[in-house]
Amino acid sequence: MAEVLVVVEAAGDAVKKVTLEMLTMARGLGEPCAVVLGGPGAAAPLTAKLGEFGAEKIYVAESDEIAGHLVAPKASVLAKLVKETGPAAVLIASTQEGKEIAGRLAVKLENGVLTDVVSLDADGTATQVVFAGSTIVKSTVKGDLPIVTVRPNSLTPAPQAGAAAVSNVDVAVEDKDKLATVVNRVAEAKGARPELTEASIVVSGGRGVGSAENFKLVEELADLLGAAVGASRAATDSGFYPHAFQVGQTGKTVSPQLYIALGISGAIQHRAGMQTSKTIVAVNKDTEAPIFELADFGVVGDLFQVVPQAAEEIRKRK
């Protein structure tokens, strides 16, 4: 059975959920094989988890040159690996860096690439959700090699034992791949909350939250539910919450099990980032707010009354 290369996305020592989704998705096309591209020691903490989700092989490419330069070295190593292994498909996370690696890989191999894929058939036909979640597209890559980037929260990862045989990959990085140097990585405090695009539950605040100070209400509800915090563009533009947490057309696209919109009217720009969520709950004082057209459950009311009461009720039930 042909191999399916899955480029591992990790946050430090933890395999990201999207990687497990890709390993699950890969089984439909061939033998899932994980590819770790990172600095020295990057793979060791990840291999056990990758094996639990079906990785038969784990290709490990570790080098300071990979960690120290933006994207290009990863794409070169991956292109070489594709040529050597002749995989049935290459799956990469649909994150900023994942898409960038995919773009370079496509040029190097003169091969088509599909981004933001949510499912992949055995024959390589990919499903993409486009135009703010309003349109479903079935696409194919011409030739034998689908290169696709997979959107986080597209499927539920299913464990399956894999051999997880580690195979070290030679890393020879050319000068042309070392043009952009990463001189510093700065972590910005976001506490212990899950990452926005990976979270099962997202609680977002909008203009109706009214101030940066009031966002504590949003955070409180999020923490009670183990959720990530998001914000509408109106809220981030007003300085209520950092831009990195913006959900919408010009921000993050999320697709959690549960999305709670607090004081968000539901402009198309916001809906673009969240309307493929499984369940949507909204609290807004305007009964005409378009967010209610999407909401499975809506409360027309003052969020400063409703949210603290909900928080109290959750505490009681826990």
Partner 1 sequence: MKIVVLVKQVPDSGAERNLRPDDNTVDRSSANNVINEMDEYAIEEALRLQEAHGGEVTILTMGPERASESIRKALSMGPDGAVHVLDNALSGTDALGTSRVLAAALQRINPDVVLCGAESTDAGGQVLPHMLAERLGIAALTGARKLTVEGSQLTIERQTEEGYEVVTAATPAVVSVWDTINEPRYPSFKGIMAAKKKPVETLSLADLGVSAEQVGWTGALTGVASHSKRPPRSAGQKVADSGEGGVQLVEFLTNEKFV
Name residues contacting partner 1, limited to 111-150 (CB under 8 A). 111-116, 125, 129-143
By CB under 8 A, residue 19 contacts partner 1: no
By CB under 8 A, residue 307 contacts partner 1: yes
By CB under 8 A, residue 218 contacts partner 1: no
Task: Select the span of 23-31, 80-88, 156-164, 293-301 touching partner 1 (CB under 8 A).
Answer: 293-301
Contact in structure between 184 and 70 (CB atoms under 8 Å): no
**Pick 33 or 102: Cβ nearer partner 1:** 102
CB of 167 to partner 1, least distance (A): 26
x/- mask, partner 1, residues 165-204, rule CB under 8 A, reads: -----------x--xxxxxxxxxx------xxx---x---
Q: With contacts defined by CB under 8 A, how many residues of the chain interact with partner 1?
A: 94
Contact in structure between 247 and 231 (CB atoms under 8 Å): yes
**Pick 43 or 281: Cβ nearer partner 1:** 281
Tokens of 279: 């369940």
Reduced to 3 states (helix: H, G, I; strand: E, B; else coil), residue 277 is: coil
* Residue from the set 103, 155, 210, 238 that interacts with partner 1 by CB under 8 A: 103
Exposure class string for 243-256: b at 16+ Cβ within 10 A, else e: eebbbbeebbbbbb
Residue among 231, 223, 242 nearest 207 (CA): 231
> Is 269 annotated as contributing to ligand binding?
yes
**Pick 32 or 76: Cβ nearer partner 1:** 76
Exposure class string for 269-293: b at 16+ Cβ within 10 A, else e: bbbbbbbbbeebbbbbeeeebbbbe
d(CA 93, CA 71): 13
Task: Select the span of 39-47, 160-168, 208-216, 262-270 touching partner 1 (CB under 8 A).
Answer: 262-270
x/- mask, partner 1, residues 62-91, rule CB under 8 A, reads: --------xxx--x----------------
**Pick 160 or 200: Cβ nearer partner 1:** 200
CB of 51 to partner 1, least distance (A): 25
By CB under 8 A, residue 231 contacts partner 1: no
d(CA 114, CA 118): 11
**Pick 52 or 304: Cβ nearer partner 1:** 304
* Residue from the set 23, 35, 55, 281 that interacts with partner 1 by CB under 8 A: 281
> Is 238 annotated as contributing to ligand binding?
no
Strand order in the sheet with 165-168: 126-130, 113-120, 147-150, 89-93, 3-7, 31-38, 57-62, 165-168
Residue among 207, 227, 146, 178 nearest 71 (CA): 178
